[in-house]
């Protein structure tokens, strides 16, 4: 049976695609004027003044992500790619169309959300792990590995407010990659830390690709698209204008700026 418009469903079917997106639409209401109080709001409505304009961000997207694909999603700022990623993650819901997610999904979006600056690094590791669904026993087993990957073990008992922003992202990333899921959603997380740490991240994602992990990467880096992705999609003005081999899509993206 066809689901109603504006839905997101989760299934577990080994024979189905990892993600199926059908006729996806999403809009946001942007205020155009400020109404002071209920009386002014009612008066504006009676005059036919909405007080907002509708911004159509996604305009009927259709695509499928097969199991084991490393899919890159690219586009200029404001094209709709980050909105799409948040809909896939369940942060936003579509107003039209449907999404079917087959298996467990782990989003690498806004790393470090849930960190408390007044707690130590050690305490934040357990707090963030709990938010990802890990038990204290599981975090105990992963604890040393997390700090070794982040290269911050000397700072584990300092309060997080004394960490630089880069240190916080490195710690959050090192925790997040311990989460296991069928599908990973990545939003520019390859650009964390210094050159040496970025190489460790690159090695990690190269391993994901070699192991045929299903990954969706939203990025502005055509180098990463060419290096890691097995397929790519170019979005512009809320529509898919190119879908295919990473090199072809990367070239099409660069032409948008010429």
Q: What is the pLDDT of residues 54-113, one digit of tens each?
A: 889 999 999 999 999 999 999 999 899 989 989 998 888 899 999 999 998 888 777 777
- Does 4 score more than 70 pLDDT? no
Q: Which two tokens stand for residue 12?
A: 């577990």
H-helix or E-strand containing 100? strand 96-102
Task: Determine the average pLDDT of the residues in 220-224.
Answer: 91
Assessment of whether the complete model's pTM goes beyond 0.85 = no
> In 3-state terms, what secondary structure has residue 117?
coil
- Does 41 score more than 70 pLDDT? no
25: β partners: 59, 96
Angle at 133 between CA 111 and CA 115, to 5 degrees: 35
The domains of the chain are located at 7-104+217-255
pLDDT digits (tens, 9 = 90+) for 116-150: 999 999 999 999 888 877 899 999 999 999 999 99
Burial of 12 per CB tally in 10 Å (0-12, 13-18, 19+): exposed
pLDDT digits (tens, 9 = 90+) for 142-182: 999 999 999 999 999 999 999 998 888 889 888 888 877 89
pLDDT of 158 reads 97
CATH architecture of 7-104+217-255: 3-Layer(aba) Sandwich (3.40)
Please state whether beta strands 19-31 and 96-102 pair in parallel, antiparallel, or not at all (unpaired). antiparallel
Q: Report CA-CA distances (Å) from 67 to 19, 125, 164, 216.
A: 8, 31, 37, 11
């Amino acid at each position: 049976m066809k689901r109603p418009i504006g839905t997101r469903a989760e299934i577990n079917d080994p024979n189905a695609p990892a993600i199926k997106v059908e006729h996806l639409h999403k809009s946001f209401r942007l205020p155009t004027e400020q109404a002071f109080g209920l009386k002014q709001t009612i008066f504006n409505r009676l005059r036919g003044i909405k007080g907002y304009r509708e911004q159509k961000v996604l305009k009927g997207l259709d695509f499928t992500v097969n199991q084991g694909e490393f899919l890159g999603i690219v586009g200029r700022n404001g094209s709709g790619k980050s909105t799409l990623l948040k809909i896939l993650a369940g942060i936003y819901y579509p107003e039209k169309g449907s999404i079917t997610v087959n298996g467990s999904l782990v989003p690498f979006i806004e790393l470090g959300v849930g960190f408390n600056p007044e707690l130590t690094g050690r305490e934040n590791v357990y707090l963030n792990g709990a938010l990802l669904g890990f038990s204290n026993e599981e975090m105990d087993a992963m604890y040393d590995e997390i700090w070794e990957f982040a290269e911050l073990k000397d700072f584990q008992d300092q309060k997080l407010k004394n960490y630089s922003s880069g240190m916080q992202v490195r710690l959050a990333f090192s925790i997040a990659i311990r989460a296991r899921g069928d599908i990973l959603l990545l939003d520019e997380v390859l650009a964390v830390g210094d050159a040496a740490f970025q190489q460790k991240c690159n090695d990690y994602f190269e391993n994901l690709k070699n192991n045929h992990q299903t990954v969706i990467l939203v990025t502005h880096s055509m180098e990463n698209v060419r290096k890691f992705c097995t397929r790519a999609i170019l979005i512009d003005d809320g529509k898919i204008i190119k879908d295919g081999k990473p090199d072809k899509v990367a070239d099409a993206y660069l032409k948008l700026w010429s």
